[in-house]
Chain A
Amino acid sequence: MRARGRRKTSYAADIAVIHSGRQWLTLAVFIGLLVVLPLVLNATHNLNWVTFLNFTLIIIIAVLGLNVTTGMTGQVSLGHSAFIMLGGYGLAMLTLKADWPFWAALAVSTLVTGLIALIVAIPAIRLKGFYVAVVTLAFFYIAQYVIRNLDITGGTFGLIGIPSPSIAGMSIKGDVRWYYLLLALTILCVLVSVNITRSRLGRSFLAVRDNDVATAALGVNVPLTKLRAFFVGSLFAALAGGLWASYVSVVRLDQFTIWDSIWYLGMIVIGGAGSTAGAIMGVIFLRLISQILHVIGTSDLIPLSSTVTIYSTQIIYGLVIILFITLKPMGMISIWQKFKINYKRWPFGV
């Protein structure tokens, strides 16, 4: 047997995220690799890969939020794209129209989006299942309509020239600096997400997902719990939206489509609903697919027009979602766990 399994001698050890020195080491090496990654890509003039990494990090933050609302609590939201959009527009309006400093604007737009999510969730939580999806879908279109028809949001043209943040006097400009900022924030968000899963709040979410009727008998106020799930989920979304807006310095309506909402749901399902690691895997998996198609399409080998690339990506995304739901409903995380168990038991395992 390779690993003998660790005996945990206290409950504190059992709820710790990291159990052993070896795990700390693995984590340190992994983060070290992530830190060095853009330098390597930079040196090889693969700068568009750093852009790819940055967007991936932003989407990981957003999807961690959807993982709370949909993955943990089972409230299928098609409005996630709209919450991201609100975060982005909130930041843009506060920095451009009101001259707020970046971080204050980010914090306030995130919180305000959270409050809007509460309002959206009120009709949704009274109802079950796909009614929630329908309400959030309607909200998505209504939010888009409002933004398109207001002057302060720049209508269809959007808002441009959104400032970058600065930390300790250093302005975050350029892909590599942004990468480090986003990496740090993503790690923070992952930690928050893991904390939620190992707390009272996370367990009330899981209980509501598995059986909301029985959960009331636990003393859990079910509608309130669903509201909390929407609130927390939209905080992540709005944070990601603000960062997105600042990173590309533009917000426009066509950055936030209903298809994106669908892809985010797909990422959660593919990764394994309710699991933080699963959500991250799901994001990386789908993002890699689109990046690979993009690279193939723009190469000389098999040149594809951009529309062909877009719609092939759509087909493959759809296919991957269908295959995971029908064949691997617990997602990539279940494959990984199975592998881990077999690896530990080797050569005695199945």
Chain B
Amino acid sequence: MIDSNEVTGANILKGEDIHLSFDGVKALDGLDFSVKAGRIVSVIGPNGAGKTCLINCITGYYRPQQGRITFNRQDILHQRPHQIARLGISRTFQDPTTYPSMTALDILMAGRYIHTRATILDAMLFFGRSRREELESRQIVEEIIQFTQIEELRKVPVAAMSFGQRKQVEIARALVMQPTLIILDEPMSGLDEVMKEIITDLILNMFDRGMTIVLIEHDAQVVMEISHSIIVLDNGRRLTEGTPREISLDKRVAEAYLGL
């Protein structure tokens, strides 16, 4: 399902000297980071450290005033969100109530948008290309539905789902796009232990399939368990970077979190 990266270990995503400010307030202040292909990389940091800002910069929602971001050595800083999605980066949103009136099936089928070609005329006529693509997409969507275990949610509108179910659908939505890089923005916040377990397993399964995963998460235990490397942000800068073990021993990290 997922393109396996032959060059595992090479940097797939790289940012240099990213500056982002809103009306003079600095959100990212000369941030450098890199993500190696086929790894699980977590980004942690206290509230307001710039974690979500970073995601929004990578996915084209915010445009940094200065810096460079490359994906597969291609400049993505000047691309719009939908163009970046087409390059194979997909993301989830912190608030999973994105499409209240759509069913899980609708959302996942919509997630196949970049892989289908039907034009306005095709859509109006339906028979022909539109129908063929629908059936192909459905096949892949069903695969992801099984993979993410949301079979019962197919025809349930998001508004009628629990918070955890919405998070599951949100991840499934990012997966049907068949990305090479998936960015998860706090996939476990607000979930109970059982749901956390399910999502953790899901992330590990995604890794097994060769996907590169960037994880933003507050739950320190989960982050320490599953990440290959951790980037710590503080005040819009990279405080440090390392393996979970290195990070847990780093004094500066504790200081940033506890405000000592």
Q: Do chains A and B touch in the complex (CB under 8 A)?
A: yes
Select one of A192, A202, A213, A219 contacting B85, CB under 8 A: A219
Judged by a CB distance under 8 angstroms, whether A85 is at the interface is no
Is B134 an interface residue when CB atoms closer than 8 A count as contact? Answer: yes
Task: Report yes or no: A196 in contact with B102, Cβ–Cβ below 8 A.
Answer: no
Chain B residues 83-111 with CB under 8 Å of chain A are: 85-86, 90-91, 93, 98-102, 106-107, 109-111
Chain A min CB distance to B145 (Å): 12
Docked Cα-Cα span, A203 to B177, in Å, equals 15
Q: Collect the chain A residues with CB atoms within 8 Å of residue B61's CB.
A: 213, 216
Q: When the two chains form their complex, are residues B99 and A232 in contact, meaning their CB atoms are under 8 A apart?
A: no
Residue from B120, B123, B142, B177 in contact with A231 in the complex, judged by beta carbons closer than 8 Å = B120
Residue of B nearest to A202 (CB): B123
| Bound-state Cα–Cα, A202 to B118, Å | 11
Q: Is the CB of B123 within 8 A of A222?
A: no
Cα(A192)–Cα(B122), bound, Å: 10
Which candidate, B25-33, B39-47, B125-133, is the interface stretch facing chain A?
B125-133
Find the B residue at minimum CB distance from A232: B120
Chain B 55-74 near chain A by CB (<8 Å), digits 1 or 0: 00001110000000000000
Contacts of B142 in A (CB 8 A): 11
B80 and A216 contact, CB distance less than 8 A: yes
* B113 touches A (CB below 8 Å): yes
The answer to whether A217 touches B59, judged by C-beta atoms less than 8 angstroms apart, is yes
Asked if B110 and A204 sit within 8 Å, CB to CB, the answer is yes
Asked whether any CB of chain A lies closer than 8 Å to the CB of B220, the reply is no
B interface SS class: helix
Interchain nearest-CB distance for A281 vs B (Å): 18
**Alpha-carbon distance A258/B46, docked complex (angstroms):** 54
B252 within 8 A of A: no
Would B112 and A200 count as touching, CB distance under 8 A? yes
Of B81, B99, B118, B139, which one neighbours A216 at CB under 8 angstroms? B81
Residue contact A199 to B126, C-beta cutoff 8 Å: yes
A221 beta carbon closer than 8 Å to chain B: yes
Question: Given the complex, which residues of A lie within 8 Å of B126, measured CB to CB?
Answer: 195, 198-199
Give the size of the chain A interface in residues (CB under 8 angstroms).
33
B194: interface (CB < 8 Å) = no
Pairwise interchain contact A206-B82, C-beta atoms closer than 8 A = no
* Residue contact B99 to A210, C-beta cutoff 8 Å: yes
Q: Give the residues in chain A near B111, CB-CB below 8 Å.
A: 218
- A198 neighbours in B (Cβ, 8 Å): 126, 134
Contact call B109/A203, Cβ cutoff below 8 A = yes
Tell whether, in the assembled complex, residue A200 and residue B123 are in contact, meaning their CB atoms are under 8 Å apart. Answer: yes
| B114–A218 touching, CB < 8 Å | yes
Q: Which of B82, B106, B114, B138 has the most CB of A within 10 A?
A: B82
- Chain A residue, CB-CB nearest to B174: A217
Interface of A is mostly: helix
Let me know if A252 is at the binding interface, CB within 8 A.
no
Interface readout for A191-235 with B: 1 if CB under 8 Å, 0 if not?
010011011111110110111011111111110000010011000
Taken together as a complex, chains A and B put the C-alpha atoms of A28 and B102 apart, in Å, by 31
Q: What residues of chain B lie closer than 8 Å to A215, measured between beta carbons? A: 110
Contact call B110/A207, Cβ cutoff below 8 A: yes
The answer to whether A221 and B110 have CB atoms under 8 Å apart is no
Check if B135 sits within 8 Å of A206, measured CB to CB.
Answer: no
Interface string of A102-135 (1 = CB under 8 A from B): 0000000000000000000000000000000000
A217 to B59, CA, bound (A): 8
A274 on the B face (CB < 8 A): yes
- Pair B130/A203 contact, Cβ less than 8 Å: no
Chain A residues with Cβ below 8 Å from B116 are 200
Query: Which B positions have Cβ atoms within 8 angstroms of A?
Result: 59-61, 80-82, 85-86, 90-91, 93, 98-102, 106-107, 109-114, 116, 118, 120, 122-126, 130-131, 133-135, 138-139, 142, 173, 177
Show 25 A/B contacts (Cβ-Cβ < 8 Å), sorted by A. A11-B142, A15-B131, A15-B134, A15-B135, A195-B130, A198-B126, A198-B134, A199-B126, A200-B113, A200-B134, A203-B110, A206-B101, A207-B107, A210-B100, A210-B101, A216-B60, A216-B81, A216-B82, A217-B82, A217-B90, A219-B86, A219-B114, A221-B80, A221-B82, A274-B101
Interface residues of A (CB under 8 A from B): 11-12, 14-15, 192, 195-196, 198-204, 206-207, 209-211, 213-222, 228, 231-232, 274
| A-B interface, 6 closest residue pairs, ranked by CB to CB distance from nearest | A219-B114, A219-B85, A216-B81, A195-B126, A201-B123, A199-B123
